[in-house]
Amino acid sequence: MKKILCFIMLVLLLVSCSKDSYDELPANYIEVNGNRLQVNYLNIDGGYFTIGSSENNHINAIGVHYKDSFSDIDYNKKVYFSDAIDCIEFVDVIKENMSYQYQNLKEFSSDSYYCIEKEDNGMYRVDVNIKTSQHSLKIKYLGKRDN
């Protein structure tokens, strides 16, 4: 009986210590067409913001460029690109150092959006979802900005 209990405890210990591959993924990530990397920078300056990863000499990022000033960004609100055609000049999607510039935001699916939440402690929570005929991009980030 003791051997059976020891065996069950060993199995439970192994199961509880094993990690699911999903648990190993970084909490702050950028995923472009299935390639997921950890986000390591957020820049917000003037009329644009950029967020992405520069791991392994590959840059995966987006840059959102506004027509006028930074005041066009709505913090703490989900902004659908289809509703922001008048204030966003273009969006750069960079996948493995190749830049694709979208000036016609109508190329984005209707559920493509960004949300930047600015918290009182200087932290930013960024959530981005972009779908086009060429790209599927997701970003989840919680951290400080780099500038």
For residues 47 and 4, give the distance between their C-alpha atoms in angstroms, rounded to a whole number. Answer: 66
Q: Let me know if residue 1 belongs to a domain.
A: no
* Structural domain count, the chain: 1
Three-class secondary structure of residue 125 per DSSP: strand
Closest to 54 in 3D by CA, of 94, 17, 14, 25: 94
Average pLDDT over residues 109-126: 94
End-to-end CA distance of the chain: 63
**Is the pLDDT assigned to residue 105 strictly greater than 90?**
yes
Within-domain flag for 6: no
Tokens standing for 130? Answer: 């972009």
Q: Pick 57 or 11 by higher pLDDT.
A: 57
CA distances from 114 to 17, 20, 50, 78, 140 (A): 36, 29, 12, 6, 10
Predicted local confidence at residue 2, as pLDDT: 62
Tell me: the pLDDT tens digits for 18-33?
444 444 445 899 999 9
Answer whether residue 24 is part of any domain: no
- Nearest-angstrom CA–CA distance, 78 and 17: 38
**Mean pLDDT, residues 110-137 taken together:** 94
Residue 91's closest CA among 36, 32, 26, 11? 32
Residue 106 domain flag:
yes
Q: Which domain holds residue 69?
A: 40-143
Kindly indicate the confidence band of residue 48, based on its pLDDT and cuts at 50, 70 and 90. confident
Q: Mention every residue, 6+ apart, whose C-beta is less than 8 A from residue 78.
A: 113, 114, 115, 127
Q: What is the mean pLDDT of the chain?
A: 83
Cα distance between residue 69 and residue 85, in whole Å? 15
Residue 71 falls inside a structural domain: yes
pLDDT (0 to 100) of residue 24 = 47
In three-state secondary structure terms, 101 is strand
Residue 3 has pLDDT above 90, yes or no: no
DSSP assigned state of 114: E
| pLDDT for residue 22 | 41
State mean pLDDT over 110-128: 94
Amino acid at 100: Y
pLDDT (tens digit per residue) in 68-95: 765 567 789 999 999 999 889 999 999 8
Residue 81 lies in a domain: yes
